[in-house]
């Protein structure tokens, strides 16, 4: 079974130039067709009645290729004809010194005529042999070869690939190497495309995240403003009595506590007036006490307003003020009786 790589290699080979290795392979195949006598000392008479030494198969074939400019495919199809002829000839067959030249020339002529639309005529082939063969000789050898091959001149791709294995193997290796390189490049391109797609997706996600953050920023600022307003409102509310006066040490450090503490101690200071000297008049004492208490009350009231005193504390202060007024009234009544 012929693979696509074999056909591709065969196509490349047949479109290439003719090399010395191809000529050498054809010469070796011709030598194996039929045994012949030694040709080194053999001579022949040309059409001009000149005597020439019989050329070697290598020289003979090289001149024919040079004269005809034959294609590579046409030349290598000759190899198939030589192998077919080898199978047709009897094993005990033996030829003349020029028999191999006849076989090689007749195979080349048939291949050229069968595989090309235009081919040199037999009279031209006679000239290409440098007088070794005339037209009658060429006509005879052509008929004999067709008869031996049973008019089967078709050459298949399988036969060519099998016969040209030594030439096609390096080409197939090169094709496989190029295919591997193409596959590797294709994989690299796929990986690069996947990386670019992943990068684009990541950029798109980043952009979407930025857009989402920017869309949530007004609500965040509103939340922050609401929190700040709540904290300011909480700070503006006056502390309860339990929270502000549970700890005596902390209350003593508060200036409001000092003022209130002075108000609470006013009773004891008034009670101590009983021990005052009788030379002081009660009216002046009452006036001074009332004025002092009123000024103190006004100052405390201002400070309480500034500190926003708890209404319970304010109620207590008012109660103390009423008690102080009643006490002053008692002192006035006692002074009148005297």
In the chain, what are the domain boundaries? 4-163, 250-337
Take residue 209 and report the two structure tokens written for it. 């995240």
Q: How far apart (Å, rounded) are the C-alpha atoms in residues 262 and 46? A: 158
Q: How far apart (Å, rounded) are the C-alpha atoms in residues 307 and 35? A: 137
Segment 153-205, tens digit of pLDDT: 999 999 999 999 999 999 999 999 988 998 999 999 999 999 999 999 888 88
| pTM summary value | 0.56
**CA distances, 308 to each of 2, 20, 301, 313 (Å):** 107, 119, 10, 10
Q: Provide mean pLDDT across the span 54-68.
A: 91
- Closest by CA to 260, choosing from 327, 328, 314, is 314
What residues contact 155, with CB distance under 8 A and at least 6 apart? 77, 80, 115
Segment 119-162, tens digit of pLDDT: 899 999 999 998 888 999 999 999 999 999 989 899 999 999 99
pLDDT higher for 294 or 88?
Answer: 88
Q: Provide mean pLDDT across the span 285-293.
A: 45
Reported as a pLDDT band with limits 50, 70 and 90, residue 84 is very high
- Closest by CA to 101, choosing from 67, 68, 54, is 54
- Closest by CA to 55, choosing from 71, 76, 37, 40, is 40
**Segment 316-321 long-range contacts (CB within 8 Å, at least 24 positions apart):** 317/260, 317/263, 320/263, 320/264, 320/266, 320/267, 321/293, 321/297
Q: 4-163 architecture in CATH?
A: Orthogonal Bundle (1.10)
Q: How far apart (Å, rounded) are the C-alpha atoms in residues 153 and 182? A: 39
């Amino acid at each position: 079974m012929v693979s696509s790589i074999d056909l591709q290699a065969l196509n490349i080979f047949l479109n290439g130039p003719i090399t010395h290795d191809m000529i050498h392979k054809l010469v070796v195949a011709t030598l194996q067709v039929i045994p012949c006598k030694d040709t080194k000392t053999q001579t022949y008479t040309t059409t001009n009645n000149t005597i020439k030494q019989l050329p070697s198969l290598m020289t003979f074939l090289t001149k024919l290729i040079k004269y005809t400019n034959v294609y590579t495919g046409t030349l290598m199809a000759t190899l198939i004809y030589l192998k077919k002829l080898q199978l047709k000839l009897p094993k005990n067959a033996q030829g003349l010194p020029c028999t191999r030249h006849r076989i090689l020339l007749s195979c080349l002529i048939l291949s050229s005529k069968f595989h090309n639309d235009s081919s040199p005529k037999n009279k031209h082939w006679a000239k290409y042999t440098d007088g070794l063969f005339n037209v009658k000789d060429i006509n005879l050898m052509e008929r004999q070869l067709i008869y031996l091959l049973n008019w089967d001149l078709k050459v298949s791709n399988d036969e060519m690939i099998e016969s040209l294995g030594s030439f096609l193997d390096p080409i197939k290796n090169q094709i496989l190497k190029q295919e591997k390189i193409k596959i590797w490049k294709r994989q690299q391109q796929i990986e690069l495309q996947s990386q670019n797609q992943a990068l684009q997706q990541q950029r798109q996600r980043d952009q979407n995240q930025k857009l989402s953050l920017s869309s949530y920023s007004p609500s965040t600022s509103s939340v922050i403003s609401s929190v700040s307003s709540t904290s300011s409102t909480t700070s503006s509310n006056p502390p309860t009595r339990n929270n502000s006066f549970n700890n005596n040490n902390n209350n003593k450090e508060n200036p409001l506590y000092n003022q209130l503490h002075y108000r609470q101690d006013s009773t004891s200071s008034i009670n101590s007036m009983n021990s005052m000297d009788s030379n002081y008049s009660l009216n002046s004492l009452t006036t001074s006490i009332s004025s002092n208490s009123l000024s103190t009350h006004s100052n405390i009231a201002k400070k309480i307003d500034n500190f926003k005193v708890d209404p319970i504390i304010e109620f207590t202060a008012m109660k103390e003020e009423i008690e102080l007024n009643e006490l002053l009234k008692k002192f006035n009544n006692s002074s009148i009786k005297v």
